[in-house]
Structure 1
Amino acid sequence: MKRYNDTTYAILGILTTECKSGYAIKQIMDQSLNHFWKISYGQIYPTLKLIVQEELAEVRTLSSQGRPDKNEYHLTSKGIEVLKNWLEQPIEHFPIERNEVLLKLFFGRYQTQEKQVFLLQTYKKELDRRYQTYITIEQAIINQNYNDEDSKYWLLTLDYGKRITKAAIEWCVFTLENKL
């Protein structure tokens, strides 16, 4: 079976939800997937074009009075099969975190202690904001989609983000209190 890039599989997965247009795909990216998988707006439409060319989805044009036509993309049985096949494959690349804070701290002896403290305090504030965002997203999923078949899996990925973020916050607190 032909291999596609991860962006293609991500968009195939998104098309299993109620998101059917390029705009809706961008919205779900910005609101949820962007926390762990980034796809630029410039990747969406070329990927949708490829998906249609490969007969993984078909495009339907919707017209409404006073508005421009809107293209909606719907997975074909081939598209669903390609997605399922990819989901069942072993993971090829485990994630490697690129963290500028850790990189700067690694070379911390060339920074003043004040700059190190400021770096970690700023990082902790951003992590606190991120954690609150995750809680807001969690509440929205529970309130709006609790019976949705996908919500269980959305909550699992969100839980991962919350736990990683909470651990990073705890690390910041410990480091600021005991190591600097």
Structure 2
Amino acid sequence: MKKYNHTTYAILGILTTECRSGYAIKQLIDQSLNHFWKISYGQIYPTLKLIVDEGLATVDISAQDGKPDRKEYSLTSKGIETLKVWLEQPIEQIPIERNEVLLKLFFGRNQSIEHSILLLNDYKEKLEIRYQTYENIEQVISTHNTGEDLKYWLFTLDYGKRITKAAIEWCIDTLKQLENKGELK
């Protein structure tokens, strides 16, 4: 079976939900997947074209008054099978996080401790906002969704909450050490 990139598999997966148009796909990505998987409009439409060309999905076009034609995509049996095969494969490698804060901190001896403290306080505040966002998302999806996807969506959300909470705790501990004039404990 042909191998595709992860964006293709993500969009195949999204098409198993109620999202059928490029716009709806982007909305779902922005509201949920974006916290762990980023896909731009510039990737969505070429990928939709690819999956139609490959026979993984069909497209139904309907006219709209005063608007461009609406394209709605549906997975074919080949598309469902392709997604299923990919889902059942083990992951190729553990993802590597690119984190600008860690990069800057790694070279922290080249700046004042005060600047490192400012950097970490700013990062901690952003993490706290992210954590609150996850809490809000959890409340919304738990209230408005009861389908089979809910528990899986909550699993990924729980992962994000735990990683964010751990990062906040790391910030607190690292800040304490920096505030003690850089003495490691």
Q: Does 1:150 align with 2:149?
A: yes
Partner of 1:91: 91
Matches of 1:99 and 1:67, distance apart in 2:
41
**Residue type of the partner of 1:149?**
E
| Structure 2 unmatched runs, 5+ | 180-185
Q: Does 1:33 align with 2:30?
A: no
Q: Secondary structure at the match of 1:38?
A: coil
Q: Deviations over 1:86-128 (max 9, x none)?
A: 0001111211111110111111111111100100000000000
Q: Secondary structure at the match of 1:69?
A: strand
TM-score (norm 2): 0.94
Matches within 5 A, 1:49-60: 49-60=49-60
Report the alpha carbon displacement of residue 66 of structure 1 after superposing the two structures with TM: 4.3
Checking the alignment, whether the CA contact within 8 Å between 2:117 and 2:178 is kept in structure 1 is no
Question: Which range is displaced more, 86-95 or 57-66?
Answer: 57-66
Report the alpha carbon displacement of residue 80 of structure 1 after superposing the two structures with TM: 0.2
Matches of 2:38 and 2:170, distance apart in 1:
25
Partner of 1:72: 72
Matches of 1:30 and 1:130, distance apart in 2:
14
Partner of 2:9: 9
**Residue type of the partner of 1:70?**
R
Matches of 1:122 and 1:114, distance apart in 2:
12
> What is the percentage of aligned positions where both structures have the same residue?
72
**Residue type of the partner of 2:148?**
E
Matches of 1:64 and 1:116, distance apart in 2:
54
Checking the alignment, whether the CA contact within 8 Å between 2:113 and 2:178 is kept in structure 1 is no
Partner of 2:47: 47
Matches of 1:169 and 1:71, distance apart in 2:
43
Partner of 2:141: 141
Matches of 1:127 and 1:14, distance apart in 2:
27
Q: Deviations over 1:3-59 (max 9, x none)?
A: 011110000000000110001111111111011011121010000000000110000
Q: Does 1:102 align with 2:102?
A: yes
Matches of 2:82 and 2:65, distance apart in 1:
36
Number of residue pairs matched? 179
Q: Secondary structure at the match of 1:72?
A: strand
TM-score (norm 1): 0.96
Q: Secondary structure at the match of 2:68?
A: coil
Matches of 1:83 and 1:59, distance apart in 2:
18
Partner of 2:183: none
Matches of 1:7 and 1:150, distance apart in 2:
19
Partner of 1:119: 119
Task: Give runs of ≥4 in structure 1 deviating > 2 Å.
Answer: 62-68
